[in-house]
Amino acid sequence: MIQANDPVRPPLQVSCVQFEPKMGAVADNVARASELIRAAAASGSRLIVLPELANSGYVFESMEEATALSEPAKDGPTALAWGALAKELGVYLVAGFAERDGDALYNSAMILGPEGFVGVYRKSHLWYRENLFFRKGDLGFPVFETAIGTIGVAICYDGWFPETFRQLALAGAEIVCIPTNWVPMPNQPEGEAAMANTLHRAAAHSNGIFIACADRVGVERGQPFEGQSLIIGPKGWTIAGPASRDQPETLTAIIDLNEASAKDLNEFNSVLRDRRSDVYG
């Protein structure tokens, strides 16, 4: 396994796949996403991020519908299909789905790689009507050591909380993958960029990490989505995107994860070393 401080690590190509899942059309969504994954892999990407609830759609109307569209994390049909694809293509995938664990549902992301199932993250901060269907994530903010680097995961509204990224950075995450379904924020001016773009750029800068956000597009059951996926470097500057507000698009960037180990801003300041945990309470 390649270590975070290994100076000979090759550059890593990352893709964020922005597309429009169709509500309830799991087989079609999985097939369409698989085509886009293949295209990203063919271009050289080894880490590919899909949106939140990418296989099912987002705006559930009932608990019965949400349950019917949910799957186990490790051996559900979507995990098996995308897991086989990850193995075939030699890539890592981070993709949102509705997870069923016993009688509990979670808004989750699966992490899959050439070696198979890597892990799952369960969304910690639920947005709006998600609270009617999902339980709050109970796994904390794990990081996943992989052959390409140390991956953290957060989902959509998790990005509104600085603690999300600080926890992941302190645990050693080099890149945080964000499956998301961003929606317009209250009082958002016409034409204003997504609030999430500002929040995630700030988080990348404040923690010295890469962040890769894959949003969806379209309008589902009256709910518009923001698009504007982006990939951000550890100094907070955008290195790919933002993508279109309303069109499918795959963003790709070639990154050097070793840069996430360099937290210094100058000869005196480092974003993690300068923390004053003695005065934060």
Q: What is the pLDDT of residue 7?
A: 57
Question: What is the pTM assigned to this prediction?
Answer: 0.95
Residues 27-41: pLDDT tens digits?
999 999 999 999 999
Q: What is the DSSP string of 82-134?
A: HHHHHHHHT-EEEEEEEEEETTEEEEEEEEEETTEEEEEEE-SS--GGGGGT-
Give the pLDDT band of residue 281 (cuts 50, 70, 90): confident
Q: Does residue 2 carry a pLDDT above 80?
A: no
Who's near 198: CB < 8 A, 6+ residues apart?
Answer: none
Q: What is the pLDDT of residue 1?
A: 43
Catalytic sites, residue numbers: 52, 123, 156
Judge contact between 160 and 125, C-beta under 8 A.
Answer: yes
Instruction: Quote the tokens at residue 58.
Output: 């987002």
What is the spatial distance between Cα 59 and Cα 228, in angstroms, rounded to a whole number?
20
Q: What is the pLDDT of residue 6?
A: 53
As a whole number, mean pLDDT of residues 6-27 equals 92
Q: Does residue 219 carry a pLDDT above 60?
A: yes
Q: What is the DSSP string of 7-70?
A: TTPPPEEEEEEE--PPTT-HHHHHHHHHHHHHHHHHTT-SEEE--TTTTT-S---SHHHHHHT-
Strands 223-224 and 219-220: antiparallel
Residues 103-149: pLDDT tens digits?
999 999 999 999 999 999 999 999 999 999 999 999 999 999 999 99
Average pLDDT over the chain, rounded to whole?
96
Who's near 113: CB < 8 A, 6+ residues apart?
Answer: 86, 87, 91, 92, 93, 146, 147
What is the spatial distance between Cα 200 and Cα 162, in angstroms, rounded to a whole number?
9
What is the spatial distance between Cα 176 and Cα 169, in angstroms, rounded to a whole number?
9
